[in-house]
């Protein structure tokens, strides 16, 4: 993600969205909220935050286990590169913002880890989706979110960023960089932001992702390997 913006809405859409609240009500789900300070985190660098989260044993179901496994990285964008999100910390409470893209982690228990949300983490994936995009039915094809699922092990091996996308024209920063060194030896981030069907992983629309998350479905799409990515 780079610089957040405000999505463009009609007056009817604005009136409807103003009535939304960030509230999770999954019956019977006992959530353990993890503070962002427990993990490596830098605002506006979601792709790097996700890379570090992929290696966290804490994310395994039940809080124990080995990194990797069935864990996935989930990239979210849309056709025009201005995807509206609700309940993001970069926006004032109750306000929407648009990201050019956003990146979160989906763990083995189908929970979303999003350090940038006001909803807390982890959340069941459906809760995160429904409360991050409660206006989904209002969005036309250009604004509707598109999703890219990338196996965490592949992401850890092939992702790289020299942070060039966060540089201003005069060589400064849109937002301060993380205190850790850049990840990888090349800049492979653009591969994950390509329009589908290009790029690594599996590309899905809203309904396709909802079907993918259904536990009773025995088969899930087979992801494509990264193309031309430099291994670390």
The count of other CB atoms within 10 Å of the CB of residue 150 is 27
Is 170 considered catalytic here? no
Give strand pairing partners of 75: 103, 148
Count of structural domains within the chain? 1
**Is 62 domain-assigned?**
yes
Q: Which of 54, 83, 87, 102 is catalytic?
A: 102
Q: Which of 54, 83, 107, 114 is catalytic?
A: 114
Q: For the domain that residue 208 is a member of, what is the CATH number?
A: 3.10.620.10
**Is 6 domain-assigned?**
no
Contacts of residue 176, Cβ cutoff 8 Å, sequence gap at least 6: 42
Tell me the CA end-to-end span of the chain in Å, nearest whole number: 22
Q: For residue 184, what are its two tokens?
A: 């990888």
Give the span between the Cα atoms of 1 and 14, in whole angstroms: 24
**Is 5 domain-assigned?**
no
**Is 54 domain-assigned?**
yes
**Is 23 domain-assigned?**
no
**Is 17 domain-assigned?**
no
Residuewise pLDDT in 10s, the chain (232 residues): 665 655 554 433 443 444 444 554 443 334 445 666 789 999 999 999 999 999 998 886 655 445 545 899 999 999 999 999 999 999 999 999 999 999 999 999 999 999 999 999 999 999 999 999 999 999 999 999 999 999 999 999 999 999 999 999 999 999 999 999 999 999 999 999 998 888 999 999 999 999 999 864 444 454 554 444 443 3
Is 102 considered catalytic here? yes
pTM for the predicted model, two decimal places: 0.80
Is 22 considered catalytic here? no
Continuous H helices in 91-171: 125-132, 152-158
Residue 170 class from Cβ within 10 Å (0-12 exposed, 13-18 middle, 19+ buried)? Answer: exposed
Residue 144 in contact with residue 78, Cβ under 8 Å?
A: yes
**Is 188 domain-assigned?**
yes
Q: Which of 46, 83, 87, 203 is catalytic?
A: 46
Continuous H helices in the chain: 11-17, 46-54, 125-132, 152-158, 189-192, 206-213
**Is 143 domain-assigned?**
yes
């Amino acid at each position: 993600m780079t610089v957040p913006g405000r999505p463009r809405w009609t007056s009817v859409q604005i009136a409807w969205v103003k009535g939304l609240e960030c509230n999770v009500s999954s019956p019977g789900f006992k959530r353990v909220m993890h503070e962002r300070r427990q993990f490596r985190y830098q605002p506006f660098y979601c792709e790097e935050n996700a890379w570090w989260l992929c290696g966290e044993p804490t994310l395994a179901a039940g809080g124990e286990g080995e990194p990797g496994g069935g864990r996935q990285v989930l990239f979210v964008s849309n056709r025009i590169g201005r995807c509206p999100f609700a309940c993001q910390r970069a926006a004032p409470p109750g306000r929407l913002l648009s990201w050019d893209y956003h990146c979160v982690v989906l763990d083995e228990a189908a929970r979303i880890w999003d350090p940038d949300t006001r909803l807390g983490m982890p959340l069941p994936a459906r809760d995160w989706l429904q409360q991050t995009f409660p206006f989904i039915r209002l969005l036309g094809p250009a604004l509707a979110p598109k999703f890219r699922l990338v196996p965490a092990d592949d992401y850890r091996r092939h992702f790289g960023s020299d942070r060039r996308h966060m540089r201003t024209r005069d060589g400064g920063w849109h937002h301060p960089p993380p205190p850790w060194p850049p990840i990888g030896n090349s800049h492979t981030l653009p591969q994950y932001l390509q329009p589908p069907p290009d790029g690594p992983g599996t590309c899905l629309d809203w309904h396709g992702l909802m079907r993918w998350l259904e536990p009773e479905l025995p088969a899930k799409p087979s992801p494509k390997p990264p193309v031309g990515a430099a291994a670390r």
